[in-house]
Structure 1
C-alpha cells in the first residue's frame, strides 16, 4: 500500500489538536484520541478538528508525562476505516509513514524507513525513523505499509536531518489497557512511582502514593489564564458572543468567522494589535472602479480601513495595546465583524471580485 493510498484510507482518523501553546496531531484508536502529553500542554481541555469533526472543545481524560502520552475524549461517528495498533515486530528497514499537521500544513504524509527499530532513550524504547517529521507532527501516528499504527511520533533531534522518534505501539497498547482498567477518567500517571492517580484524589498537586510533585496536576488545576492586553482582548471577544476557546489560535492570535468573512486578530510583540478581515481578491477587470469604491468608503469609516496587499482586499482594525479599552475595542471589533461580511458580499456581487478559498482545516 503506497503512502497516498494509506493517507486517503485513514485520513478521517487524523485529528488536529490546538492549545494556546501550539498545535499538534492526534489519531483515533477505538473510543480514544491518542496524542502526546506535551501536545496537550497540561490542559484539561483542548480544541480538536478533523475532516469528520467540526472544530470543537474536547476533554483530556488521561495525561502521562512518563510515556509522553495523553488521551482525549470526544464524540465522533464510527469511521469507515478505523486505525488499529499493530501487533507485528518492527524491524530495521521497514517502511514507515508519518501523518500529521507539520507547521499547520494539514494532513501531510511523509514516507521513510525504520532506521533503528529499538533505540533506547531515557529508559524507554523508541522507533528511530528517517521520515520527515516537524513541529505539528507530534502525537500523530506512525504507520507501517499495511496501514497499522506502529508508533506515536514523539520528538525529533533539532538541527538534524530527518532524525525522528516514535513511541512504539506496545507502550500505547499497555497504556490503553491500564487506563481502561481504572474504569474512570481524569487520570494522571505519576512519572516517579508510575501509578495511575485519579485527579480527584490528588491534594496540593502531590502524588498520594509517593509524594512527588505532579506538575501536570498543577497545570490542569490552573488551566490557561491570559493576562494584560491578551486578557482584555478575550473579554471583548466574549462580549461579542465569540467562543474564545474555539477562536484562540495561540496566546496572542484569534480567528473569527462571521458570515462569508474571516477575521484574524493578532497581538504582536511590538504591542500592536491588528484585526484583519481578508475579504476577496482583485479581478483582472474594473480594478479602477474597485479602487475608487474602497477609497470613498475609507473616508466614511471610523476605526477601520481598507487596504490591498498584493491582490487581496483587507478591512482592518489597528491599535496599540496601551490604547486598547474594553468599550472602544468592542465597538471596533463589532464593526469589523459586521462590515467585513457586508463588504465581502458587495465586492463579490457588485464588483466581481474573486471569492477566497479556505483550507480544509477550519470547517
Structure 2
C-alpha cells in the first residue's frame, strides 16, 4: 500500500492524546490505546479524540516507565480496519510510514526507511528511522507497507534532521501480553525490579517488591493540580458548567463551544487573560453597514469588544490577572458565551458574513 492508502485505511485507529502538559499520539491495537508513557505524563486520566471519536476523558490503565509505554482504556469505537502488530523481523532499509499528530496537527503521515533496525539505547533496541517525526508524533504507530505496526514513534534527537527512533513491536507485544495476563487495570511497571505492580498495593509511593520510590505512583495519586490564577480561571469555567478537563488545551489555555460559537481562553505570561470567539469571516458586501453595527455594539457593550483581524471578526473579553476575581471573571465569560452564540448568526444572516472553516470539520 502507498502512504495515502495506509492513512485512509487505518485513520480510525489513530488517536490524539491531550494532557495539561502536552499533546501526543496513540493507536488502537488489541482492544487498548497504545501510546508512550511520557505522553500521558504520569496522569491517571487524559483526553482523547479520533476521526470517529468525540473528544472525551479516558483512563490510563498501564504506565511503563521502563519501555516508555502506556495503555489507555478504549471507549466503544467501531473500527472497520483494525491495526495489528507485526510479527516479522524489521530490517535495515525497510520502508515505513510514521503516523500521528505532530504539533497537534491532525493525521500527518510521513514515509521513510529504517536506517538501522537494532540501534541500542541503554538496555533497549530501537528502530532508527529517517521518516520525519516531530513533537506530537510520540506514541503514534510506525507502519510497514502492509499497514502492520512495526513500532511506536518515541523520540528524536534534537538538532538532527530526520533522525527518529521507534520502540519495536516486540516490546509492545511483550507488555500487552504481560498486562492482559494480570486481568487487572491500574498497573505500573517498576523501573528498578521491572515487575508489574497493581497500583492499589502500593504504599507510600514505594514498590512493594523492591522498595524503590515510584515517582509515577505519586504523580498518578496527586493528579494535575492547578494553582493561582490558573486555578481561579478553571473554577470560573466550572461554575459556567464547562467540563474543564475536556476544555483544557494546556496549562494556560482552554477551548469550548457554546452553540455554534467556539471560544478560546488564554492566560499569557504578561498577565493578560484573553477570551475570544472567532465568529465569522468578513462579507464581500454590506461592509460599511456591518462596520457601523459593530461600532454601535462596542459603544453599548460592557466587558466585551468586537474586533477585526484581517478577514476574521472576533468577539473578545480581556482582563488582567491582578484584576480577576471570581465574580468579574464569571460575569465576563458568561456574557461572552451568550453573545458569541448570538452574534455569529446575526452577522451571517444580516450582513452576509461567512462561517470560518475549523480543524475539527476535516
Specify the TM-score bucket, using the shorter chain as the normaliser: over 0.9
Q: Which residue number corresponds to residue 239 of structure 1?
A: 239
Using the TM superposition, give the Cα deviation of residue 285 of structure 1 relative to its aligned residue in structure 2, in angstroms. 1.4
Between the aligned partners of 1:77 and 1:257, the Cα distance in structure 2 is: 24
Using the TM superposition, give the Cα deviation of residue 123 of structure 1 relative to its aligned residue in structure 2, in angstroms. 0.8
Q: Which residue number corresponds to residue 76 of structure 1?
A: 76
Q: Which residue number corresponds to residue 208 of structure 1?
A: 208
1:282-338: CA deviation from partner (whole Å, max 9, x where unpaired): 021111111111000001100010000001000001111111000010000000000
Between the aligned partners of 1:67 and 1:291, the Cα distance in structure 2 is: 58
- Is 2:318 the counterpart of 1:318? yes
Structure 2 portions without partners, runs of 5+? none
Between the aligned partners of 1:219 and 1:357, the Cα distance in structure 2 is: 38
Between the aligned partners of 2:216 and 2:135, the Cα distance in structure 1 is: 22
Q: Which residue number corresponds to residue 17 of structure 1?
A: 17
- Is 2:85 the counterpart of 1:85? yes
Aligned length: 362
Using the TM superposition, give the Cα deviation of residue 104 of structure 1 relative to its aligned residue in structure 2, in angstroms. 1.2
SS at match of 2:54: coil
**TM-score using structure 1 length:** 0.99
- Is 2:2 the counterpart of 1:2? yes
Between the aligned partners of 1:192 and 1:239, the Cα distance in structure 2 is: 44
SS at match of 1:318: strand
Give yes or no for contact 1:52–1:76 (8 Å, CA) kept in 2. no
Q: Which residue number corresponds to residue 144 of structure 2?
A: 144
1:95-153: CA deviation from partner (whole Å, max 9, x where unpaired): 01000000111000000000001100011000000000000000000000000000000
Using the TM superposition, give the Cα deviation of residue 74 of structure 1 relative to its aligned residue in structure 2, in angstroms. 2.5
Give structure 1 regions of 4+ aligned residues with deviation exceeding 2 angstroms.
Answer: none
Using the TM superposition, give the Cα deviation of residue 220 of structure 1 relative to its aligned residue in structure 2, in angstroms. 0.2
SS at match of 2:72: strand
**TM-score using structure 2 length:** 0.99
Give yes or no for contact 2:285–2:351 (8 Å, CA) kept in 1. no
SS at match of 1:334: helix
Between the aligned partners of 1:313 and 1:69, the Cα distance in structure 2 is: 43
1:201-242: CA deviation from partner (whole Å, max 9, x where unpaired): 000100011111101000000000000010000000000000
Q: Which residue number corresponds to residue 193 of structure 1?
A: 193
